[in-house]
Structure formats: C-alpha cells, structure tokens
C-alpha cells in the first residue's frame, strides 16, 4: 500500500538509521525528514498524512493540515498525548515491538537481580580486594511489585516468574485473568506497596502518574522483607519520581537502593547529587534504546493497517494519556 509522504523526525536521536530503514518501506522521495524545528515546504506539508516522530518542539505538527496519524518511535507517548498542535482527530499510535519489549525486560531483570543479589556491595568489596560473602536469599522469598502491568510489566513478570520471584502487579484496570495478583487503582495501591520489597515502575507518564514515586510511597513499601529494606527501580519516565524525595529516601535508609534509567532532565547533569547517592545504579535512558532496523517494519505495518481502516490495539487513549 502506498502511504504517500511520511514525515520523519527523531528529536535528538541520530537520524541516519531511521532514514535508511524507513526508505526500505516507503519510497525515497516520500520520506520527508525534518529536524523537527524547520518544517518542510508548505506544499509538501500539505501532502503528509503520517508522521513517525520522537520528541519535537511544540507547534511542529500544526504545519501538517492533513495529518491523520502520528507513530511514536518509542513506547512512551507522553511527548505526544497532551499536545495542542495535534488535533483530537489525529490518531497517536504507540510502538509495541518484541525487540523493544525484550530490551526493557532484560534491563528490568538485570536490576531486580542486581539488588536482590547485592551486586553493588560486591562491586564495592571487589574495589577493596575484599572476599566478603553476604547472606543470599532465594528468589521466592523476594516480593517484586510491578507498578504498571501492561506490555512491559507483563513481559518482565514472565521472566521474573521463571526465576521464582514472588510477584504482584498494579494497573489502572483489574486483570482477573492474570497469572499473578494484580492490584487495581488507587484504592489498592497501599496493599500492593505493603507486600513489595523491590518496586519496578513501568508506568506511562500521565497526569495521574506524575510524581508517584515520592516520600509517601517510599514509606509504604515493605520494611519487613528478606531484603532488609525496599528498593525502587524506575524504567518509566523521569517525571514519575520526585528526585529530592528519592535522594532523601536513599540517604536516610527508607530505601535500601535504587536503579534509575529516566530523569526529568536528560542527560542527568553531572552535579546532580543522585549520581553520588548510596546504592544507586544509574543508566542513561537506555533500558529500551530502540533500534530502527528492528522497529520500522513493525511500525510501517501498523501504519498500513491504520490506513486500511483496521482496528489497532495500540492507539493511544488521548483522555487517559497512554
Ligand atoms: P502499557 O500502556 O502497555 O502499560 C501501562 C501500564 O500502566 C498498564 O498496566 C496500565 O494499566 C498502567 N497504568 C497507566 N496509568 C495508570 C494509573 N493511573 N494507575 C494505575 N496503573 C496505570 O505501556 P508499556 O508497558 O508499553 O510502557 C510503559 C512505559 O514504559 C512507557 O509509557 C514509557 O514511558 C516507558 N518506557 C521506557 C523505556 C526506557 O527506555 N526507559 C522504553 C520503553 C518504554 P491498565 O493495564 O489498566 O491500562
Ligand atoms: C520509549 C523510550 O518510550 O525509549 O520507548 O523511552
């Protein structure tokens, strides 16, 4: 199917691979690359019905009067969901892709195991050339809580479940058919936190979830677990955590450790005290670093399905924000 002209804009990511791989599916003259700041000529803009986009400055999409759908190059759509320059009728399609899901799953499992098995303490001991055995608990004794039980939360649960961790999830809507206990909605949150030793945030950033990782929540995590205190792992968005609360909780021992991939300001400035907080593992928003060659085939199929009038299950609910 001929999609016509497709505008491609990838924020501060390197565009090379995206252009090269999109040209495998859309003819070269129809791939309209923009840096997201300077729009293409108005007559070209008028021909564009579809955009493949990562973060672009506000107002960019208003240059495309006939836009029908925007495909986010990332699973997170917080950069699109609330934009006034996207008319309500423009569909936002998020990427659900096995490569991306696999990458975030690997990052999540790595961090759960790193804290459960005290990898940071062993790194410290190694730096001091110290043979320092620590008590080791087994996975079924560790309660992992998945804050967000969607595509990524469920995938992480599958692998963590194989390792034997005691799992529960938290979602907006009940999941009666899930293989693990899934708590739903704000009324269930405290009970979910009270049974959680290692909390993994894989939520989308919305008006409802912004700032959810705060002092109040940290204080409600289990303090009686085999891990000797709770851990927080955030692979969602930086806007989920109140950084000063996180720093305080790590410093005063409310939290025993953390792994953080996402920050309100990225790159994280070198003078941010979180770099030097106790028992924290920081990764530079690479949990699900998307590879264009892996994602684009799937994304273009989504666009074709959308253009053919098929119902997609990854259309963003603009009201809910994800
Ligand atoms: P999904 O939409 O598949 O899942 C989101 C989950 O969060 C669902 O279970 C949903 O509940 C739940 N949720 C949303 N809002 C609320 C709320 N108000 N209260 C309780 N639960 C809520 O998203 P994905 O799993 O695909 O991705 C999650 C996020 O991970 C992305 O939005 C993105 O921000 C982040 N991400 C980060 C990456 C990285 O590199 N660090 C890479 C990829 C994604 P319900 O099931 O009821 O709808
Ligand atoms: C994503 C991301 O949302 O990379 O896919 O953060």
Which CATH number belongs to the domain containing residue 268 in this structure? 3.40.50.720
When divided into structural domains, the chain yields a total of 2
CA of 95 to the centre of ligand 1 (A): 12
235 and 112 belong to one structural domain: yes
d(CA 39, CA 60): 7
Assigned domain for 319 exists? no
Does the pTM of the predicted model rise above 0.85?
Answer: yes
CA of 308 to the centre of ligand 2 (A): 27
In the structure encoding, which two tokens stand for residue 231, read together? 């851990």
Ligand 1 neighbourhood includes 36 CB (under 6 angstroms)? no
Per-residue pLDDT of the chain (322 residues; tens, 9 = 90+): 899 999 999 988 899 999 999 999 999 999 999 999 999 999 999 999 999 999 999 999 999 999 999 999 999 999 999 999 999 999 999 999 999 999 999 999 999 999 999 999 999 999 999 999 999 999 999 999 999 999 999 999 999 999 999 999 999 999 999 999 999 999 999 999 999 999 999 999 999 999 999 999 999 999 999 999 999 999 999 999 999 999 999 999 999 999 999 999 999 999 999 999 999 999 999 999 888 999 999 999 999 999 999 999 999 999 999 9
Assigned domain for 143 exists? yes
144 and 218 belong to one structural domain: yes
Give the chain's length: 322
d(CA 85, CA 69): 13
d(CA 300, CA 2): 11
Ligand 2 neighbourhood includes 225 CB (under 6 angstroms)? no
Ligand nearest to the CA of 314: 1
In the structure encoding, which two tokens stand for residue 228, read together? 């000797």
Residues classed as catalytic = 237, 285
70 and 122 belong to one structural domain: no
d(CA 315, CA 160): 28
CA of 152 to the centre of ligand 2 (A): 11
234 and 86 belong to one structural domain: no
Assigned domain for 299 exists? yes
Assigned domain for 315 exists? no
Ligand 2 neighbourhood includes 142 CB (under 6 angstroms)? no
Assigned domain for 215 exists? yes
37 and 78 belong to one structural domain: yes
139 and 188 belong to one structural domain: yes
Helix segments in the chain, DSSP class H: 16-22, 42-45, 98-116, 119-127, 151-162, 189-194, 215-220, 243-252, 292-307
Ligand 1 neighbourhood includes 261 CB (under 6 angstroms)? yes
| Domain interval for residue 184 | 98-282
């Amino acid at each position: 199917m001929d999609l016509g002209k497709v505008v491609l804009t990838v924020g501060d990511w390197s565009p090379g691979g995206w252009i090269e791989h999109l040209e495998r599916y859309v003819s070269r003259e129809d791939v309209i690359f923009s840096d997201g700041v300077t729009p293409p000529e108005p007559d070209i803009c008028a021909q564009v019905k579809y955009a493949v986009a990562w973060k672009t400055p506000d107002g960019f999409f208003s240059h495309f009067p006939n836009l029908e759908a925007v495909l986010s190059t990332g699973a997170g759509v917080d950069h699109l969901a609330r934009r006034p320059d996207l008319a309500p009728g423009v569909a936002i399609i998020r990427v659900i892709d096995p490569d991306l899901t696999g990458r975030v799953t690997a990052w999540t499992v790595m961090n759960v195991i790193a804290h459960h098995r005290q990898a940071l303490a062993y790194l410290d001991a190694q730096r001091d050339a110290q043979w320092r055995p620590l008590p080791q608990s087994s996975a079924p004794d560790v309660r992992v809580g998945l804050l967000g039980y969607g595509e990524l939360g469920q995938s992480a649960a599958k692998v963590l479940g194989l390792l034997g961790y005691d799992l529960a999830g938290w979602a907006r809507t009940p999941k009666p058919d899930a293989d693990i206990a899934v708590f739903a909605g704000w009324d269930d949150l405290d009970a979910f936190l009270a049974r959680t030793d290692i909390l993994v945030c894989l939520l989308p950033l919305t008006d409802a979830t912004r700032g959810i990782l705060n002092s109040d929540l940290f204080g409600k995590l289990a303090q009686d677990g085999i891990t000797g205190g709770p851990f927080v792992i955030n692979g969602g968005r930086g806007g989920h955590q109140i950084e000063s609360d996180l720093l305080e909780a790590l410093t005063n021992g409310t939290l025993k450790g953390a792994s953080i991939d996402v920050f309100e300001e990225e790159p994280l400035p070198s003078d941010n005290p979180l770099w030097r907080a106790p028992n924290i593992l920081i990764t530079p928003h690479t949990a699900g670093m998307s590879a264009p060659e892996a994602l684009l085939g799937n994304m273009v199929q989504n666009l074709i399905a959308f253009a053919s009038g098929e119902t997609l299950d990854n259309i963003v609910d603009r009201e809910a924000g994800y």
